[in-house]
Chain A
Amino acid sequence: MPEIDRQLIARGVKRASPRQFLLWIVPWCALLAFGLYGAGLCLVKGLNQTNMDNRFAFGLWIFLDLTIIALGAGAFFTGFLLYILKKRELKAVINSAVVIGFICYSGAVAALLVDVGQPLRFWFTFWHPNVHSMLTEVTFCIACYLTVLLIEYVPIVLKNRKLRQIPSFLVFEFELHKLMPVLAGVGTFLSFFHQGSLGGLYGVLRGRPFAFREGFAIWPSTFFLFILSAAAAGPAFILLTTWLVSKISGKALVRTEVLPLLGRISGVLLVPYILLKAIDTLIWINNTAPARGFPAHQFYSSKPFGAWILFAEIAVFGLLPALILLRRRLRESTGWLVSAAGLVCLGVALNRFVFTIQTLALPTLPFDPFLSYLPSWQETATFLAVVAYGVLVYSFSFRYLTLFPQEKDLPC
């Protein structure tokens, strides 16, 4: 067993001993098993196993799916920057970004299959698509993009030290690699649209004045804001994960200029995002919501969703990290860099939370109260299964595949 293991690990890098690796893997496998049990209960017994109800039709899973997809946007955006805008420094993290993207999207799709009431009918959207629905667009785009990610993942796998010894695999990988720019372009296009449509999901809800936004033609402003926020959060998440993996494995994985570059990209994208978000919020507070009979202060008058949440989203988790990431001196300090990246990711999560959970908590009918919701253990377990799955896939990928090409040239 250890011999095969050693042969699968790339040359020039050190990895933990098989025993140590096993010790790392086992708890995650246990978590995965527990999570699959929770998900299994939901599939077998029905969605009454969750704490979702007719008022909270979406809960933890949708919130986390939207967040995961926004964070996994690093995959498409890094690919876009590398293959289309030719920012070659990002070669250092592109493989990791693709794996993370693959994990995020496949995990989100798996969670969605548990979330729908009749998973056997998943293909109905493809067979009877509704061209007016944002969710149709999301379904198509995510399905296509997951395919793209899978195709982008394959060459990384095929470059494994053992597998590349098979000539046909090597040739296949080489040909595939020539397609990378095309795939990156397609991926960017698809990702652009579904990140936007996920925002559009909520922006078009004329029945939910808290979420409803006007915009450009059929696209509400949230369409564009979600794209921008995902583009800003993607690099930040890559930064965070790279730093985390580096810390856990105890190795230097990328040259020192890579992470600050990711931080700068994130910061540069945050600025227009914050600006547009602030303008959009002002228009919403002064025009859109009151025109529908809902003065905006009403949305923030129920605990715990006070006006602080708006301030937190824009200022604390948006403007503050932007300011940090745009200053070179702060970027060069790992502490500031990582903290700022963390704030950006939390900000995106908060933004998705506000749109998924707060939208449903707020009453629309005049005689409805404010509602609360806490996920059940089965819902949490299902999400933890996705996390465990992600850690396991990444762990195996990190061990046996070259996720960080610069690693072997860096001192241990």
Chain B
Amino acid sequence: MGFTRRDLLKFTGGSAAGLALSPVPWGLLHDTSLLSENWPGIPHPPRGEIRKRYTTCTLCPAGCGVRARCVGDQPVSLAGVAGHPSGALCTAGLAGHHLAFCRDRATESLAAGKPAAMERALSGISAAIAACGSRESVAILDSRPGRAASEVYRRFLAGLPNGIHCTSLDMQDASFGIDLENTRAIVSFGAPVLDGWLSPGRVLANRSHFQLIQVEAAYSRTASLSDLRVPVLSGTESAFAEAVVRALDGDTSDSQAAEVAGMLRSNKPAIAVGVAPAAGRLNSALGAFGRPGGLLPRRGFQAATDIANVPDHSIRVLLIEEGSTSLPWDLLDRKLAPQNHTVVALTPWLDGCARHADYVIAAPVYLESLDEAPTPAGSPVAAFSLSPALLATPPKLTPPAEFIMRLARDSATYPDILKQRVAAIRKDGRGTVFTYADAKSTPIRDIASAEDLWKTMLAGALWLDEPLPDRPVHAMASAKEAEAPTPTPEFPLLLIAADSPPLHASPLMSKLYSESGLRRPANAAIVNPKTGHDHGLSDGCRALVQSATAEFKVQAIFDPAVMPGVIELAMAGPPNAAGTIRRI
């Protein structure tokens, strides 16, 4: 008879029915769900022994203690250390262990943009230094003077005819600690007191003790949470400080200054922080220097030249140790000799100053190599801790201080320098050591030897000096603040800085910047709705901000809290200029 179409149909139908009654479909279904549960491409977190290790955060001058939860040797989460003067970490600190995986890492040293061996960089830079003329200088831009590394820089520069040790940090900030625990009022001239000033743990633990008066043009995070907000345009802070001083003497012609003075009278002792000339003036009037609840001098201060005070066009060789913030390049460019200058970037990152550098010496990031955490910003006493590495140091990276030692033909390593520093501390015999693991404080005399102190510090500890004995102190002279630009008919609005996203941070920062509206993204331009409507904008529209020298594509955001007549730009380092905005 042969195999007919009907037979085929019967066979197919019978097979289908039979299969449906067999375990095959259920097995297949089960297997597909297993596939959906073991979705390809989803990483499996590695397992291993869970350990606690301690280090100190070096992402900013606060130097908070860190307890790391490690799987094997890999930190998987970071937390603060209970009992430490700054007992909590900030958003950057909590995700600091991700920094090593950020984009734009410099993985090896570069000369003129191409990979170069260390010897080539050393010889090239030494030659440039040797070729300096009589009026030309060699400068090292130190991200934080006062460290053991800074001492290395000073020694190296002292051996040169025209060496300048400079910094961009404000010297007043660096020379005084703040007795925050006893302060009852803070007048902040633009300092982000509640949003990244000193250490968040310490500031917020004391928040209920002080009144906060925020004097700045932008509606910053701190301004939005302040007890009194005084909007003044940048460049007029000193004038306002003078007005407050007059109001403290009884002159009530400026009502805002009078209100501030009233708060200062009812909440003593008070201090001023922020823009140096204004804060210094007010602190002098308040007698804040050297008294409890005020600004306290401490040991170990090391002055360095403010880069702004270095004569223009005088630096032949500039070595930049890039810290947590990148300086605007035009500021540094002005200081460079017009021709044949050499810029060396000692940095972990390829963006930032490395873009303008002739030589890039790739440096390790936080947690990749042993580092020091010097006296934390605002600490009332001198302090020191180590930041032991929690990750393996990638090859071809050199800590900046070690590179300078190579230039100085010193064969010591950076850990050697740190060990010497710890030995000096032990020798001075002052102060206490707070160990992170057990939150106990031990007088340093009870630590038997420098070697013991070194081991203790490597396990996570903070040395705190004794306070300086009472003596009169004076404010440091500060450079005048930058003048505010003048609006013109073509550029009627003022560009001011709003809170900006960090340049290098964990990719998880997207939770704050793009996955929620908590922080403005870097392309945000925030304006008062009236200002926005006057310039033809609508909330959320794409716009173009223009100044005399630059233009930026932005997203316009309306906020009635913003001062009319200004554009708050969330990008890093907006130009201090007048500008305008229009819809695109």
Contacts and interface: CB of A to CB of B under 8 A. Distances in A.
Q: Do chains A and B touch in the complex (CB under 8 A)?
A: yes
Interface of A: 118, 120-121, 123-124
Interface in B316-343: none
Question: Which of A118, A120, A121 has its CB near the most chain B CB atoms (within 10 A)?
Answer: A120
Contacts of A118: 36
Closest 5 CB pairs of A and B: A120-B36, A120-B32, A118-B36, A121-B36, A123-B29
Nearest to B515: A54
B33 interface: yes
A266 B69 CA distance: 68
Contacts of A124: 33
Interface in B27-58: 29, 32-33, 35-36
Contacts of A121: 33, 36
Contacts of B32: 120
B117 to A, nearest CB: 45
Nearest to A166: B6
Given A120-B35, A121-B36, A124-B33, 7 more contacts: A118-B36, A120-B32, A120-B33, A120-B36, A121-B33, A123-B29, A123-B33
10 contacts: A118-B36, A120-B32, A120-B33, A120-B35, A120-B36, A121-B33, A121-B36, A123-B29, A123-B33, A124-B33
Contacts of B36: 118, 120-121
A121 B34 CA distance: 9
A395 to B, nearest CB: 26
Nearest to A119: B36
Contacts of B29: 123
Contacts of B35: 120
A124 B36 CA distance: 12
Nearest to B33: A121
Contacts of A123: 29, 33
Nearest to A54: B515
B153 to A, nearest CB: 50
A118 B33 CA distance: 9
A250 B35 CA distance: 52
B116 to A, nearest CB: 42
B231 to A, nearest CB: 25
Contacts of B33: 120-121, 123-124
B5 to A, nearest CB: 11
Nearest to B29: A123
A118 B32 CA distance: 11
A121 B36 CA distance: 7
B38 to A, nearest CB: 12
A34 B29 CA distance: 29
A121 to B, nearest CB: 5
Nearest to B32: A120
A315 to B, nearest CB: 35
A116 to B, nearest CB: 11
A121 B29 CA distance: 8
Interface string B194-214: 000000000000000000000
Interface in B12-32: 29, 32
Nearest to B35: A120
Interface string B462-491: 000000000000000000000000000000
A124 B34 CA distance: 12
A118 B38 CA distance: 12
B301 to A, nearest CB: 46
Nearest to B31: A120
B510 to A, nearest CB: 15
A49 B32 CA distance: 23
A124 B33 CA distance: 9
Nearest to B34: A120
A262 B486 CA distance: 77
B529 to A, nearest CB: 15
A343 B540 CA distance: 38
B252 to A, nearest CB: 39
B515 to A, nearest CB: 10
A318 to B, nearest CB: 37
A124 B32 CA distance: 11
A120 to B, nearest CB: 4
A123 B31 CA distance: 12
B576 to A, nearest CB: 34
Contacts of A120: 32-33, 35-36
A405 to B, nearest CB: 28
Nearest to A123: B29
A122 B35 CA distance: 13
A32 to B, nearest CB: 26
A242 B36 CA distance: 44
B93 to A, nearest CB: 28
Nearest to B25: A123
A120 B36 CA distance: 7
Interface in B429-452: none
B558 to A, nearest CB: 13
Nearest to A124: B33
A118 B36 CA distance: 7
A158 B236 CA distance: 90
Nearest to B10: A168
Nearest to B39: A118
A292 B30 CA distance: 43
A172 to B, nearest CB: 12
A54 to B, nearest CB: 10
A391 to B, nearest CB: 29
A118 B35 CA distance: 11
B8 to A, nearest CB: 14
A27 B152 CA distance: 78
A391 B228 CA distance: 68
Nearest to A168: B6
B361 to A, nearest CB: 41
A129 to B, nearest CB: 16
B27 to A, nearest CB: 13
Nearest to A117: B36
Nearest to A118: B36
A7 to B, nearest CB: 17
A374 to B, nearest CB: 15
A124 B35 CA distance: 14
B541 to A, nearest CB: 15
A220 B36 CA distance: 35
Interface string B110-139: 000000000000000000000000000000
A295 B29 CA distance: 48
A122 B33 CA distance: 9
B331 to A, nearest CB: 41
A120 B32 CA distance: 6
A68 to B, nearest CB: 27
A41 B519 CA distance: 33
A312 B33 CA distance: 45
A363 to B, nearest CB: 14
A118 B39 CA distance: 10
A234 B82 CA distance: 68
A330 to B, nearest CB: 48
A120 B33 CA distance: 6
Nearest to B37: A121
A121 B37 CA distance: 9
